[in-house]
Amino acid sequence: MNDERCMIFLFGATGDLARKKLIPALESLFEKGFLKESPVICIGRRKISKEEYVQLVKGNGEFLNHLYYVSAELKGKQEAELKVLIEELDRKYKCKGNKIFYLALASDLFKQTIEMIKELKLLEGEGKKRVAFEKPFGFDKRSAEELNEIVSAVFREEQIYRIDHYLGKELVENIAIFRFGNSLFEDIWNKKYVENVQIVLSETVGVETRAEYYEKTGTVRDMIQNHILQILSLVAMEAPREFTADLVRDEKVKVLSVLEKGECVVGQYSEGGYEGKVIPGYCAEQGVAKDSLTETFVALKVFVKNSRWEGVPFYLKTGKRLDKKYSEVNIVLKDVASRLFLQEKEKDRKNVISICIFPDEGIVLRFNAKVPDSRKELEPVCMEFSHKAAFGPNSSEAYETVLKEILKGNQTLFTRFDEIQESWRCVDEILAKIDFKKELKIYPAFSSGPKEADELLRKEGRVWVQTKK
Ligand code: BG6
């Protein structure tokens, strides 16, 4: 569809995601020529004019001429007006009935939005129709299955794009290439050589204006169920027979279906300080219950129960209001069999392969070298592939990439329903075992998180690795 025009419907247009990510991504695709002149119909809750909407999204340039804003109360008169607008735009832009519906909404609004799309008869007639759902898809396994039934009664699987924007990040897309496109790594990518795997998505932002969503969701549903488990499945999967959307997803789902949860630490940020300013705790944020038990941090251990990974712990960690924004995958290799150079003080100098997703995209290999003028003293050194240095500084924003793939009709970067089911199975098990009243650990904003998360590794003789400090 990317060389044809299409009508884009953006539901949730006044929300955080649409304002900060989706509109800028569409604007950038338009400027780069990936999005042909196409009408973008923004549908939001606020009763505002197009001019006010443009101000809200801080849009500019020629792209704005193709932006239309409609208030979400699509009943009676407005519905009729919208129908007229759609017909008019279809004629003006010659979209030939091609339509993309992007639901940048909480998943409890998906059902009524699909009904609205049906009632407005937007799926009828010629042209390609595609629908994108923002994550998380559902609230648990059961609700996701119910939701999927509703969705699949209206759309075929090949029309459905379940978004996980991490799959559109350059270095996440690189994982499969890095593993299967090089003879260097694949032979050591297993329990014989890998001691543990760490996936960390650390954030400095708090809940911001998203309390309504976050209070219902929490970090496990917001980050583990999707971004972290998706990265894990790419790191752990077997090579697909061919690099096609379905064969890649077949391999990812096999990993997710054998995940077994281990210990888990949950936390919530309290008041802290940053650059001399007092930063409020989670419970003092606007829209959050004063006695909220919602977790803003989680660290946990899981195992991939198959022959490649038997016994190798995968440590996962993510949280809000931590001291640094960074996303890394660290593959920690086992000690060399020979103890020749590994004296007591050098115990932690393990070789590490780091996939750095943010901020400095790249891959770093950490190994030991001899300290000059010593005979056998070791010092860890790094060899680095910097994405920016090799390919230039402007790798696309993740949302730009996923939108481009929807326009192209390529589903590789989107989660299939069986992956969602397996991730929810795992997350439901994690959540069912936590007694939030007793277990929620409080950590100050802008710290490294609860000390229990460090203890999780320390008691097993390990530490969290952070390559980009
Ligand atoms: C979103 C979560 O999916 O990802 C947010 O809902 C989180 O809570 C965000 O802040 C992080 O994405 P990124 O691309 O900024 O690392």
Give the position, in ligand 1's atom list, of the atom nearest the Cα of 213.
6
CA distance 178 to 167: 15
What is the model's pLDDT at position 374? 84
Q: Strand, coil or helix: what is 57? A: coil
Residue 109 contacts residue 133 (beta carbons within 8 Å): no
**Contact 419 CB / ligand 1 (< 6 Å):** no
| Nearest-CA residue for atom 9 of ligand 1 | 223
What is the token pair recorded at 224?
Answer: 């583990």
Residue 31 contacts residue 63 (beta carbons within 8 Å): yes
132 alpha carbon – ligand 1 mean position (Å): 17
What is the model's pLDDT at position 74? 58
Angle between helix 229-236 and helix 170-180 axes, rounded to 10 deg: 20
Task: Tell me the whole-structure pTM to 2 decimals.
Answer: 0.96
222 alpha carbon – ligand 1 mean position (Å): 8
What is the model's pLDDT at position 347? 60
| Nearest-CA residue for atom 6 of ligand 1 | 222
- Annotation says 227 is catalytic: yes
Instruction: Go through 191-205 and write b for each residue having 16 or more CB atoms within 10 A of its CB, e for each that does not.
Output: eeebbbbbbbbbbbe
What is the model's pLDDT at position 142? 98
Give the position, in ligand 1's atom list, of the atom nearest the Cα of 135.
3
| Nearest-CA residue for atom 13 of ligand 1 | 166
119 alpha carbon – ligand 1 mean position (Å): 33
194 alpha carbon – ligand 1 mean position (Å): 29
Give the position, in ligand 1's atom list, of the atom nearest the Cα of 201.
16
Helix (H) or strand (E) holding 85: helix 76-93
Give the position, in ligand 1's atom list, of the atom nearest the Cα of 219.
8
**Contact 134 CB / ligand 1 (< 6 Å):** no
**Contact 222 CB / ligand 1 (< 6 Å):** yes
Q: Are strands 326-333 and 352-358 parallel, antiparallel or unpaired?
A: antiparallel
What is the model's pLDDT at position 72? 74
**Contact 203 CB / ligand 1 (< 6 Å):** yes
Residue 6 contacts residue 407 (beta carbons within 8 Å): yes
Q: Which of 134, 166, 171 to mutate to test the pocket of ligand 1 (most atoms within 8 A of CB)?
A: 166
Give the position, in ligand 1's atom list, of the atom nearest the Cα of 226.
3
Residue 232 contacts residue 166 (beta carbons within 8 Å): no
169 alpha carbon – ligand 1 mean position (Å): 12
**Contact 361 CB / ligand 1 (< 6 Å):** no
Helix (H) or strand (E) holding 52: helix 50-56
Q: Where in the chain is the domain with CATH 3.40.50.720?
A: 7-134
CA distance 149 to 323: 41
Per-residue pLDDT of the chain (469 residues; tens, 9 = 90+): 656 889 999 999 999 999 999 999 999 999 999 888 899 999 998 889 999 999 998 878 899 999 999 987 656 566 777 888 888 998 899 998 999 999 999 999 999 999 989 988 899 989 999 999 999 999 999 999 999 999 999 999 999 999 999 999 999 999 999 999 999 998 999 999 999 999 999 999 999 999 999 999 999 999 999 999 999 999 999 999 999 999 999 999 999 999 999 999 999 999 999 989 999 999 999 999 999 999 999 999 999 999 999 999 999 999 999 999 999 999 999 987 667 776 655 566 899 999 999 999 999 999 988 889 888 788 889 999 999 999 998 788 999 999 999 999 999 999 999 999 999 999 999 999 999 999 999 999 999 999 999 999 999 999 999 998 8
Closest CA to 329 of 136, 186, 457, 174: 174
Q: Where in the chain is the domain with CATH 3.30.360.10?
A: 167-458
Q: Strand, coil or helix: what is 27? A: helix
334: left (phi over 0), alpha (psi -120 to 50) or beta: beta
CA distance 333 to 192: 9
What is the model's pLDDT at position 308? 98
Give the position, in ligand 1's atom list, of the atom nearest the Cα of 327.
16
Q: Are strands 313-319 and 441-444 parallel, antiparallel or unpaired?
A: unpaired
205 alpha carbon – ligand 1 mean position (Å): 9
Q: Which of 134, 200, 227 to mutate to test the pocket of ligand 1 (most atoms within 8 A of CB)?
A: 227
User: Is 167-458 in CATH node 3.30.360.10?
Assistant: yes
What dotted CATH number matches 7-134? 3.40.50.720
Q: Which of 66, 165, 227, 387 is catalytic?
A: 227
What is the model's pLDDT at position 37? 87
202 alpha carbon – ligand 1 mean position (Å): 10
